[in-house]
Amino acid sequence: MKTIDELLAEGVAGKRVFVRADLNVPLDGTTITDDGRIRAVQPTVKALADAGARVVVASHLGRPKGAPDPAFSLAPAAARLGELLGADVRFATDTVGDSAKAVVADLADGQVAVIENLRFNAGETAKDDAERGAFADQLAALADLYVGDGFGAVHRKHASVFDLPARLPHAAGYLIAKEVSVLKKLTEEVKRPYTVVLGGAKVSDKLAVIDELLGKADRLLIGGGMAYTFLKAKGYEVGISLLQEDQVPKVTEYMERAEKNGVELVLPVDVLVATDFPDLKTKAPADFDTVDADKIPADQEGLDIGPKSRELFASKITDAETVFWNGPVGVAEHPDYAGGTTAIAQALLDSKGFTVVGGGDSAAAVRNLGFDESKFGHISTGGGASLEYLEGKTLPGLAALED
């Protein structure tokens, strides 16, 4: 995989460089609530601009239906990128239309532009190779070189991720190079004990990675909504907690395999329960109780791991040499149910080992809960991409950069 440093050494001054970034940031209207992904790509964009390239940054945001939708405009992300760079960033109001062509044509050496949300064009995500390829041809006309740096999208076979690198000389940006280096430490160069913490809502989203980790991790800690399917598999009452009943047989099989393989599978021993889901807008104080994991009332749901579980989980993290964490272990958006996720983050900080926060909601939680990002070994920008890499899958965006 060619690196951006190699590209820079060859000279990029005066050349149009297409940077496939991941600016898929959460928005409250037009206000960015977490700019982590923009900050993550800033070093690559700055290096290219400083070297005299004419930088064309592109990304998706949200899930528009292949047509323009103001709710998913990249305009706020372009403005924030400009603030981070300390420079004017031009913005094109379309992807490959008149605005994009004019903005790119008007770039001077060292200037940066952002084109509108790639998913406003149906060709970006098309299943049909020809349709996707046609859009990639239009994107290729905007640039001379390609730099892939949107790690959060490399598991997608999309035009700007998979097809476009085949049409232009290409290299990996700093972010992708760092992400791959980190993931190798979780798959090929693992220091033990190796603890993996998995949270989030649905166990079905994590089945493949659990299957893979049962042969690689030393400890597997399960929290979040997905934990209740495991507790159900143990024969416990889970009340109205989030449950995927159809996954109980698979989870039972995984628990048996964990025991057979000598993998310590750790579940919550107590949980915070309530009859009502909390109001995440007003964040009004919640009325909850703490009960043992096998004593959840039939009319209540688990919303966070309890204090005994927090201590248990922390003890399995702090003495590990390698820790990977993906997914909050409670409804961390509400202060009354953020205690478990806070405890996990603090345990990672207290660990002397190499710690990785696996993107998505867990990365956002770390920032929203006020933790110093620099204290963690690595905070990934791609939750889904990280998980698929750990599953051993070939990621289209990485494969496209390797040839």
Q: What is the DSSP string of 231-261?
A: HHHTT---TTS---GGGHHHHHHHHHHHHHH
Query: Mean pLDDT, to the nearest integer, of 196-204?
Result: 93
Query: Mean pLDDT, to the nearest integer, of 51-58?
Result: 98
The predicted structure's pLDDT at residue 115: 98
359 in a known ligand binding site: yes
- Percent pLDDT > 70 in the chain is 100
333 in a known ligand binding site: yes
Write the pLDDT tens digit of every residue in 97-153: 999 999 999 999 999 999 999 999 999 999 999 999 999 999 999 999 999 999 999
221 vs 316: CA distance, rounded Å: 8
19 residue type, one letter: V
377 in a known ligand binding site: no
How is residue 286 annotated by DSSP? P
| Residue 226 CB-half CA count within 13 A | 23
210 vs 177: CA distance, rounded Å: 25
* List of residues 6+ apart from 285 with CB closer than 8 A: 336
Q: How confident is the model at residue 382 (pLDDT cuts 50, 70, 90)?
A: confident
Q: Which CATH number fits domain 4-177: 3.40.50.1260, 3.30.70.141, 3.40.640.10, 3.30.420.40?
A: 3.40.50.1260
* pTM (2 d.p.): 0.89
Query: Mean pLDDT, to the nearest integer, of 180-198?
Result: 93
206 residue type, one letter: K
206 in a known ligand binding site: yes
Of 370, 366, 347, 346, nearest to 357 (Cα)?
Answer: 366
The predicted structure's pLDDT at residue 363: 86
119 in a known ligand binding site: yes
327 in a known ligand binding site: no
192 in a known ligand binding site: no
Q: Which CATH number fits domain 190-390: 3.40.50.720, 3.40.50.1260, 3.30.70.2190, 3.30.2420.10?
A: 3.40.50.1260
The predicted structure's pLDDT at residue 189: 85
Write the pLDDT tens digit of every residue in 150-177: 999 999 999 999 999 999 999 999 999 9
373 vs 391: CA distance, rounded Å: 26
The predicted structure's pLDDT at residue 367: 87
Out of 59-73, 264-278, 361-375, which region has the weakest mean confidence (pLDDT)? 361-375
81 in a known ligand binding site: no
Q: How confident is the model at residue 373 (pLDDT cuts 50, 70, 90)?
A: confident
325 vs 348: CA distance, rounded Å: 9
358 in a known ligand binding site: no
How is residue 267 annotated by DSSP? -
| Residue 88 CB-half CA count within 13 A | 6
Of 34, 33, 55, 31, nearest to 43 (Cα)?
Answer: 55
C-alpha distances (whole Å) from 390 to each of 131, 210, 255, 274 are: 31, 9, 19, 35
**pLDDT beyond 80 at 210:** yes
How is residue 215 annotated by DSSP? T
The answer to whether residues 85 and 46 touch, using CB atoms and an 8 Å cutoff, is: yes
**pLDDT beyond 90 at 383:** no
Enzyme catalytic residues: 37, 202, 360, 384
The predicted structure's pLDDT at residue 29: 92
37 in a known ligand binding site: yes
**pLDDT beyond 80 at 364:** yes
The answer to whether residues 106 and 90 touch, using CB atoms and an 8 Å cutoff, is: yes
State the DSSP string of 8-52. Answer: HHH--TT-EEEEE------EETTEES--HHHHHHHHHHHHHHHTT
Provide the edge-to-edge strand list for the sheet that holds 301-305. 289-292, 270-274, 301-305
36 in a known ligand binding site: no
Query: Mean pLDDT, to the nearest integer, of 194-213?
Result: 93
Query: Mean pLDDT, to the nearest integer, of 185-212?
Result: 93
**pLDDT beyond 90 at 92:** yes
The predicted structure's pLDDT at residue 360: 73
The answer to whether residues 212 and 237 touch, using CB atoms and an 8 Å cutoff, is: no
Residue 126 Cα to chain centre, angstroms: 22
**pLDDT beyond 90 at 30:** yes
Out of 136-140, 321-325, 358-362, which region has the weakest mean confidence (pLDDT)? 358-362
**pLDDT beyond 90 at 15:** yes
Domains 4-177 and 190-390 share a fold: yes
The predicted structure's pLDDT at residue 368: 87
Q: How confident is the model at residue 254 (pLDDT cuts 50, 70, 90)?
A: very high
The answer to whether residues 341 and 328 touch, using CB atoms and an 8 Å cutoff, is: yes
User: Which sign does the torsion angle of CA 240, 241, 244, 247 carry?
Assistant: negative
Query: Mean pLDDT, to the nearest integer, of 213-233?
Result: 96
Out of 19-23, 90-94, 280-284, which region has the weakest mean confidence (pLDDT)? 280-284
The predicted structure's pLDDT at residue 176: 97
262 in a known ligand binding site: no
The answer to whether residues 331 and 234 touch, using CB atoms and an 8 Å cutoff, is: no
Domain boundaries, the chain: 4-177, 190-390
